[in-house]
A and B are shown apart, each in its own frame.
Chain A
């Protein structure tokens, strides 16, 4: 205690965390709504495990972590999409196999090359201290790309999410938009892992959308509410974790949980009346 907000914000690592955290939270919330509604929640989770495997490989080979992780995760997202589209039930199992294998490979590689170093540790649980200047720039650029593509295709993403068959039948290339969603998700997952960690990034994607759906009933209002709430949770999570000296990612998730419970109660009471 004893720090004022402006003092907190004068720390470089906090500035970096907020500069990266806000746009990543935004992207995560927007994509999360589509992923939940398309029943692709598992994909976010699977991708984060693949991301961890990729980072372990990068660390073992002494390569820049993000530059290795991004292409690998993007490719796996296309693979996961194909698997879960080909059959809903077997798809689930396949996603689980792929994600746990990637995690296992990551752990094996790490233990062979000398145990969990701080970099990997920070990717597993998330760490704002590990953010470097390069990561910040790359993250901002990629977030801007994700946001732009999402807004540009917003209406088509809605249509494909709402009724894929209708879209396809009336001449919208639904499969392409599924790929776009997968691509944007994989970028968001890799960027979000820096702050949230492999284990918790998928909740950053899923929570805001689920929370917004408790109360809001139109797609647009759900998307906007999820976006605002997600940014709020990340910023307040960062600040609270500084005061309370708790892990950032976990703090953000806890705040998301509190929001969810509040919205759920609100929706419940509204339904009652």
Chain B
């Protein structure tokens, strides 16, 4: 059974649809890349998949035992206010909250998880720093570490490499690939980096207002949709 399934999904804002009748499903362990032009509705779809926004029509179904609290999420833009007092450690640690039930305080295991993910993203030295005083790329890495803390079976990333330097971006793609393969985490990632997507992902979803494409990498490369994007 599919982990996540979209049936004839239409998303819209105030009656104006962004995309229509989207159909696709992904299975456990898949790595889906969502591509498309600016404003084509990639972030909107992510919000739909996360249950933050209801589809105007159609259904989004969680299967295979997927629960909301097994999902990790990296938003494209976090609405975090400029003056928010929070240390890096506090932010990363808050990612572990979703698996905690009613217990009021963090356990040792959760603190270890937070520390491990900070190490993975090389931000351990920033642990005590104030989140809002970090550079854009550093903030992005903090939010990624938080997303990893929340991830149990599904990881949704909305343009994760925005603001990262090339070296870190490369490392990040490798890290996501690794999480996908060795931890068997299903990954859904919005990306503008089509070459990297084709290299790592198992499936591609290309969003356009009229005609969306969904299929494996092989199918995508031979389809006409990819031409404009890859430029071959």
Contact = CB atoms under 8 A, between A and B. Distances in A.
Nearest to A38: B81
A166 B98 CA distance: 10
Interface in A64-112: none
A144 B84 CA distance: 28
Interface in B66-90: 67-73, 75, 78-81, 83-87, 90
For A156, A171, A172, which residue has the most chain B Cβ atoms within 10 angstroms?
A171
B68 A170 contact: yes
Contact of B80 (A153, A162, A170): A162
A158 interface: yes
A159 B95 CA distance: 8
A217 B85 contact: yes
A155 B104 contact: yes
B85 A216 contact: yes
A168 B50 CA distance: 8
A166 B85 contact: no
Contact of B87 (A151, A163, A217): A217
Interface string B38-61: 000000000000111000000000
A168 B94 contact: no
A174 to B, nearest CB: 10
B85 A219 contact: yes
Nearest to B133: A217
Nearest to A209: B85
A132 interface: no
A156 to B, nearest CB: 6
B172 interface: no
Contact of A218 (B83, B90, B104): B90
A170 B69 contact: yes
B75 A220 contact: no
B159 to A, nearest CB: 15
Contacts of A218: 85-87, 90, 128, 130
Nearest to A219: B86
B146 interface: yes
A141 interface: no
Contacts of A162: 80, 84, 86, 91, 94
Report which residue of A151, A163, A212, A220 has the largest number of chain B beta carbons within 10 angstroms of its beta carbon. Answer: A163
A165 B86 contact: no
Contacts of B133: 217
B11 to A, nearest CB: 16
A219 to B, nearest CB: 5
B69 A37 contact: no
Given A151-B104, A154-B104, A171-B70, A166 B78 contact: yes
Nearest to A171: B69
Nearest to B132: A217
A226 to B, nearest CB: 10
A166 B69 contact: no
A1 interface: no
A170 B84 contact: no
Given A169-B71, A170-B150, A218-B90, A155 B52 contact: no
A27 interface: no
Contact of B94 (A37, A159, A216): A159
Nearest to A151: B104
A22 interface: no
Contact of A159 (B69, B97, B105): B97
A169 B50 CA distance: 5
Interface string A156-200: 101100111111111110000000000000000000000000000
B156 to A, nearest CB: 8
Given A154-B104, A162-B84, A168 B52 contact: yes
Nearest to A153: B104
B52 to A, nearest CB: 6
Interface of A: 37, 39, 151-156, 158-159, 162-172, 212-213, 216-222
9 contacts: A155-B104, A158-B86, A159-B97, A166-B75, A169-B51, A170-B72, A171-B68, A172-B69, A213-B83
Given A162-B94, A166-B150, A171-B71, 10 more contacts: A37-B84, A155-B104, A158-B94, A165-B79, A169-B51, A169-B68, A169-B73, A171-B98, A220-B87, A222-B85
Please name the 9 residue pairs, one residue from A and one from B, whose CB atoms are nearest each other, closest first. Answer: A171-B69, A217-B130, A171-B68, A218-B87, A169-B50, A159-B94, A170-B150, A171-B98, A170-B98
